[in-house]
Amino acid sequence: MRQRRLLVQVGVAALLIGLLALLVNNLAVNLIRTGLGLGFGWLGRPAGFALAETALPYAPSDSYLWALTIGWLNSLKVIAAGLVLATGLGVAAGAARSSNNRLLRSLAAGYVALIRQVPLLLQLLFWYFVAFLGLPSVPIGGLIRLSNQGIQLLGLNLSVEFCAVLVGLTVFTGASIAEIVRGGINAVPRGQWEAFRSLGLGEGLGLRRIVLPQALPAILPALTSQYLNLAKNSTLAIAVGYADLYAVSDTTITQTGRAIEGFLLLLLSFLLLNLLISGGMAAFNRAVLGRLNRSR
Amino acid sequence: MNRWLDRGITLLLLALLGWAGWSILHWLLVGADWSVVTTNLPLYAVGSFPADQRWRPLLWMAALITLTLLTLTGPKRGWVRRWLPLVWIAMAPLGLWLLAGGLGLLPVGTRSWGGLTLTLLLTGGSGALALPLGILLALGRRSELPVLRWSSAAYIELMRAVPLIAVLFFGQLLIPLFLPPGLEINRVLRAVVAFALFAAAYIAEDVRGGLQAIPPTQREAAAVLGLSPRQVLQLVVLPQALRVALPSLTNQAVGLLQNTSLMAILGLVELLGISRSLLANPAFIGRYLEVYLWLAAVYWLACSAMALLARHLEVQLDPARSAS
Amino acid sequence: MFRSSSRVLIVALAGLSSFLASCASLDSAAGSRLDLVKARGELLCGVSGKIPGFSFLSPDGRYTGLDVDICRAMAAAFVSDAEKVQYRPLTAPERFTALRSGEIDLLSRNTTHTLSRDAVGGNGLRFGPVVFHDGQGLMVNAASGVRSLADLSGKAICVGSGTTTEQNLNDAFASKGLPYTPIKYQDLNQVVGGYLQGRCAAMTSDRSQLAAARSGFSDPQAHQILYDRISKEPLAPAVVGGDQPMGDAMTWVINALIEAEERGITQANVDAVVKQAAADPSQTALRRFLGVDPGLGRKLGLADDFVVQVIRSTGNYGEIYNRHLGPDSAVAIPRGANRLAGEGGLMISPPFT
């Protein structure tokens, strides 16, 4: 029996390797035929294109590798901000579904129902071309200034492209997070609600201190996958002119023709990001469950 | 104090909503120029399908809409209920025949397919490919054989880590490089394959969740009854697992429909892509607000219809569980 | 569990592998693309679909424009039917890969002929004669007071990504030592959208595209195309390099369009001219050109009367130009450098002998 199992495993492995070998063979033949080689030396060549937003100093004479790094930093910027804002919006909207105020409940429900049924790309295009580019030049107080060229917020200069991607991602992901939070809150026994209400605790305090912490274990796994979705969806930034990693890769591949190497670099970057987010959430999960177990 | 604040916020929100609603309504009816939508309705619907053959994709879409309405309103007669799933399945080959032609109809190449028709076809085609692949991957990941387990897990984790637009873009560029020279597959097919490969990984995880939810006693009982391992899988485990995973699977389907819009970035003329082409027409430069609102409405209707159908399916297959 | 199903799986995979193996080899048949097109009976043409005047989708679902008419002329010459064309809308980043992977036969997509695109060490394409002499320019708001490149120092400029436009803009500013902020969009109508909304002080593209876009604005006079010429942009169709029959056929179809205009042969009078030439043996050059005296077409692998078929389908170069970019069309661009050499432009054809 064990021998047969081993044989089957070897057989399957051989087939997979065989298939892989054939695909690689085709690839090699095609690469030779079309003159595209494989190698990463081109990363050192000067990029020759400018970037609109750079977290660190960048000039077109810098290398492709540096350009890709700048794109990577831009991605991280919008993803980090997006995660924070989307969580805030999602928790607020999800909690609003259990509110006593009927208007708030319906607004939250309407928000979720509308946003989740329209593609993110379309929403991004709307936010950028309709909302942000249509902004009049308005100073609000001394610290905030809006215009369709950029937004100044408390000393920070934010480009329109960044804002549009951020708002689009936040609103879209926030709707999914709201559903998750709603599910988590619903999983908390009704008794808990009645208990803190009968003790005279206000809605907001009761939600924050009693209900949400108990809803967390149910929310966290699904929340992690939404965070990962947000990180991946940030690549749609190319459609509105934000120079994120994918956009810079796109320009690089167009100029150099190095599609395969570019794909590998992109893959590696997103695997790394994936690990960071999943790892962070796993640690948070452990910490939260630890505290809950200790308090029981 | 709290109650006055509450009432105050409510009133403020109502006022804002009222003002926003009024301005929007005014713009929709008076300010907007809807000619970009009305003049180009055929393009939105069927892309650059030859004008005299337009009845074919339109017929298919009309059939889909009728079928949706029929399913949702819940037919009372037993025989209609029994035939309905078969008719749904038949829509796929029917659609392919009506669009591609052959067998009595004029052949029309895939580059002429566009608009909503192409969106629906991409969704259906990728979904049909992704589902069996996803089930295979899920089974592979739970297999006792390490080789199968690792390769399935590696594929699933890799695909779930990569953004969809990258998979689509590199699919368009790289699939031709992996094929023998001389064998070309058209861009629509490449897009369908790329979507399917991507969605299969997510479907695999959903199915795996469903498989995990089946208590091992089910398998043991079936084995005791004398069923072979393959029969156990086919007759006992998979149907139950799929039933459990159904809500997530239908979520994936709606997501697939929305994700077809990404093909617009790569130049395919599905619904969003064809709108971009339209906006290049000098007559319609700058009319993107009308176009985007129109598109949002179409997508919203399509996705909501799918979600309703999904809910209907869930209730049909598992009344006890869905009632909770 | 693995008894019967594994056998089926193994057989299937073996079958697939042997099929793939039999196909993959460097020595697979390498004939000319022209033979493939003629055998197929249809031309696969890569276009943009989003550039007014050159190629865009009209409401009846058909592609029209100068680039599209070039495709039709090619189809008329290669397969004797100008309508046997399948148009594939391509974005800038994928147009060369599509050509090199064999997905399209001909690229007629507002593509600039450059060294990097020509050379084997670059994209390795073969370009035909220039069908439109263009140049990259900048468009600004007439009221902004910007009159030259120097006035745009440090400003935001809307540009389409994945094209020579990006690189040329960079070169132009770098050569003057001036900084600028590029706002990159995916296609022209987004660039226009961003510019019109005031996101950027200027937008850049080929001057023909600027004029085409401006023609659709609600107030064209409020926008000005600057005099600074950022680059030369000779636009030409292209096929894969290293395929001489295909390259020559493409080249001489374009030359035929120009030669026909030089000779005054139009879509309306081509049949009459053919009849006249057939009746008059002394018109040797004309008879050779029209294929009445056979011999030229077949040297290219085309029908002897391919010129007549082309002119009958699309008209000569001037007619094609006027149809899409002439003063009565939606996108009016003065011919300028695109006039015949004899009239002060750059359009000239080598002799048909």
Beta-sheet strands, E only, within A95-223: 138-140, 144-147, 150-153, 156-158
- pLDDT greater than 50 at residue A169: yes
Q: Find which of A3, A5, A15 to mutate to test the C interface (most C CBs within 10 Å of its CB).
A: A15
Q: What is the mean pLDDT of residues B138-158?
A: 88
A220-235, pLDDT tens digit by residue? 888 998 999 999 999 9
Cα distance between residue A44 and residue A40, in whole Å: 8
Grade residue C10 by pLDDT with cuts at 50, 70 and 90. Answer: low
Rounded CA gap, B44 and C48, in Å?
Answer: 18
pLDDT digits (tens, 9 = 90+) for B50-86: 778 888 888 998 999 988 888 888 766 677 777 787 8
- The arithmetic mean of pLDDT across residues A233-248, rounded, is 92
Check whether C18 has a pLDDT greater than 60: no
Nearest to B183 among C23, C62, C187 (CB): C23
Does C192 sit within 8 Å of B286, measured CB to CB? yes
User: CA nearest C45 in B: which residue?
Assistant: B111
Q: Does B298 touch chain A (CB under 8 A)?
A: no
Asked if C94's CB is within 8 angstroms of B282's CB, the reply is no
DSSP secondary structure, C308-326, as one string: HHHHHHH--HHHHHHHHHS
Mean pLDDT of the region C186-213: 84
- Overall average pLDDT of the A107-115 stretch: 92
Task: Return the higher-pLDDT residue of A181 and C94.
Answer: A181
Contacts of B141 in chain A (CB under 8 A): none
Closest CA to B280 of C153, A271, C331, C236: C331
What is the pLDDT, as a whole number, of residue C19? Answer: 44
Assess B107–C contact: CB distance below 8 Å, yes or no. no
Using an 8 Å CB-CB cutoff, list chain A residues near B179. Answer: 26, 30
Per the structure block, which two tokens stand in for C28?
């697979």
**Does residue B200 have a pLDDT over 90?**
yes
- Tens of pLDDT, residue by residue over C216-270, are 787 888 888 887 778 888 999 999 998 999 999 999 999 999 999 999 999 999 9
Q: Do A8 and C197 touch (CB under 8 A)?
A: no
Q: Decide which of A134 and A41 is more confident.
A: A41
Is residue B71 within 8 Å of B309, Cβ to Cβ? yes
Give the pLDDT confidence of C312-346 residue by residue, as tens digits: 999 999 999 999 988 888 777 888 889 999 999 99
The CATH architecture of the domain made up of C33-133+235-343 is 3-Layer(aba) Sandwich (3.40)
Q: Which residues of A touch B175 (CB under 8 A)?
A: none
What's the whole-number average pLDDT of chain C?
Answer: 85
Of the partner residues A11, A35, A149, the one whose CB lies closest to the CB of residue C199: A149
Give the pLDDT confidence score for residue A83 in this predicted structure: 96
Nearest-Cα distance to chain B for C284, in Å, is 43
Please give the Cα distance from B139 to B126 (Å, whole number).
20
- Residues from chain B that touch A33, judged by Cβ atoms under 8 A, are 181
Q: Which span out of A67-71, A156-160, C148-152 was modeled with the highest average pLDDT?
A: A67-71
In chain A, pLDDT over 70 holds for what percent of residues?
A: 95
Fill in the amino acid letter for B151: S
The whole-angstrom separation of Cα B171 and Cα C154 is 38
pLDDT given for residue A218 in this prediction: 82
**Average pLDDT score over chain B:** 84
Average pLDDT estimate for B191-213: 91
DSSP B15: H
List residues bridging with C137 in a β-sheet: C205
Subunits with at least 3 CB pairs below 8 A relative to chain C?
A, B
In CATH, B115-318 is 2.40.30.110: no
How confident is the model over A201-224, as a mean pLDDT?
A: 83
CB contact under 8 Å between C181 and A50, yes or no, is yes
| Residue A154 within any structural domain of the chain | yes
Q: Which residue of C has its CA nearest to A162?
A: C183
- What amino acid occupies position A54? T
Which residues in chain B are contacts of A116 at CB distance < 8 A? 303
SS3 assignment, position C78: helix
- Helices B115-141 and B288-317: crossing angle, nearest 10°? 40
Rounded to a whole number of angstroms, the CA Rg of chain A reads 25
C52 and B173 in contact by Cβ < 8 A?
A: no
Please indicate whether, in this complex, the C-beta atoms of A241 and C184 are within 8 angstroms of each other: yes
Asked if B51 reaches chain C (Cβ–Cβ under 8 Å), the answer is: yes
CA atoms within 13 A on the CB side of A126: 22
Return the structure tokens found at B59: 């017929």
Chain C residues whose CB is inside 8 A of the A238 CB are 186
User: How far apart (Å, rounded) are the C-alpha atoms in residues B265 and A236?
Assistant: 9
**Which residues of chain C does A254 touch, with a Cβ-Cβ cutoff of 8 Å?**
92-93, 161-162
Which of chain C's residues have a Cβ under 8 Å away from the Cβ of B284?
216
Question: Is the CB of B161 less than 8 angstroms away from the CB of A270?
Answer: yes
Contacts of B256 in chain A (CB under 8 A): none
Nearest by CB to residue C170, choosing from A18, A29, A49, is: A49
pLDDT at residue B304 greater than cutoff 70: yes
Higher pLDDT, B323 or A246: A246
**Vertex A55: Cα angle to A49 and A57 (nearest 5):** 60
In angstroms, the separation between the Cα of residue A240 and the nearest Cα of chain B is 11
Residue in A with minimal Cα distance to B12? A103
The reply to whether B147 touches chain A by the CB within 8 Å rule is yes
Domain ranges, residue A125: 68-295
Nearest by CB: A251 against C161, C190, C197: C161
B280 and C CB contact within 8 Å:
yes
pLDDT > 80? residue A50: yes
Q: How far is C148 from chain A (nearest CA, A)?
A: 20
| Token pair in block for residue B143 | 């297999």
Quick check: A296 pLDDT over 50? yes
User: What pLDDT sits at residue A245?
Assistant: 94
B:12-31 residues touching chain A, CB 8 A cutoff: 13-14
List of chain B residues whose C-beta atoms are within 8 Å of the C-beta of residue A100: 6
Query: Is B151 part of the contact surface with chain A (CB cutoff 8 Å)?
Result: yes
Q: Does B158 touch chain A (CB under 8 A)?
A: yes
**A194 pLDDT above the threshold of 80:** yes
Contact B177, A37 (CB under 8 A): no
pLDDT tens profile C19-70: 444 343 333 345 789 999 999 999 999 998 878 788 887 777 789 999 999 9
Best residue of A254, A255, A256 to probe chain C, by most C CBs closer than 10 Å = A254
What secondary structure letter does DSSP report for C85? E
Q: CB atoms < 10 A from the CB of C308, how many? A: 25
- Looking at residue C301, its pLDDT comes to 92
CB-based burial label for C288 (10 Å; 0-12, 13-18, 19+): buried
Contact by Cβ (8 Å): C89, B277: yes
Q: How is residue B69 written in tokens?
A: 């309405």
Which residue does chain A place closest to C94, by CA atoms? A254
Give the E-state strand segments of chain C in sequence order.
43-47, 50-51, 55-57, 63-64, 85-89, 106-107, 125-127, 132-141, 156-160, 181-185, 202-206, 223-225, 231-235, 238-240
Nearest-Cα distance to chain A for C286, in Å, is: 41
Element (H, E) at B322: helix B319-322
Q: How far is C346 from chain B (nearest CA, A)?
A: 28
CATH code of A153's domain: 1.10.3720.10
Contact C198 A133 (CB under 8 A): yes
CATH code of C137-231, in short, is 3.40.190.10
- Average pLDDT for residues A161-175, to the nearest whole number? 94
Handedness of CA B55, B59, B61, B66 (dihedral sign): positive
H-type helices in C216-301, by residue range? Answer: 244-263, 270-279, 284-290, 296-300
Q: How far is the CA of B305 from the CAs of A288, B65, B299, B322, C89, in angstroms?
A: 39, 9, 10, 18, 31
Q: Which residue's entry shows tokens 């399948």?
A: C86
Specify the number of domains making up chain A: 1
CB contact under 8 A, C212 and B233: no
For residue A109, the model assigns a pLDDT of 93
What letter represents residue B163's amino acid?
P
All CATH 3.40.190.10 domain ranges in chain C, comma separated: 33-133+235-343, 137-231
Give me the total of CB pairs closer than 8 Å, taking one residue from chain B and one from chain C. Answer: 119
Q: What is the side-by-side order of every strand in the sheet holding C125-127?
A: C85-89, C43-47, C106-107, C238-240, C125-127
Under an 8 A CB cutoff, do A259 and B170 touch? yes
How far apart are alpha carbons C18 and C37 in whole angstroms? Answer: 29
Q: Give C217's contacts in chain B (Cβ within 8 Å).
A: 285-286
Tell me the chain A residues in contact with residue C190 when contact means C-beta distances shorter than 8 Å: 129, 241
The answer to whether residue C9 scores a pLDDT higher than 60 is no
Separation of first and last alpha carbons in chain A: 49
Taking the Cβ of residue B67 and every Cβ of chain A, the question of whether any pair is shorter than 8 Å is answered with: no
Q: Is A168 contained in some domain?
A: yes
Q: Which long-range contacts (CB under 8 A, 24 or more apart) does B265-268 make?
A: B265/A121, B265/A236, B265/A238, B265/A239, B265/B165, B265/B168, B265/B169, B265/C186, B266/B168, B266/B169, B266/B172, B266/B191, B266/C91, B266/C94, B267/C89, B267/C90, B267/C91, B267/C94, B268/B118, B268/B187, B268/B188, B268/B191
| Predicted pLDDT of residue B259 | 93
ipTM above 0.95, yes or no: no
Q: What is the pLDDT of residue C29?
A: 43
pTM of the model: 0.80
Name the residue among A11, A35, A148 with its Cβ closest to that of C10. A11
**Coil, strand or helix: which one is C186?**
coil
Residue with the larger pLDDT of the pair C30 and B208: B208
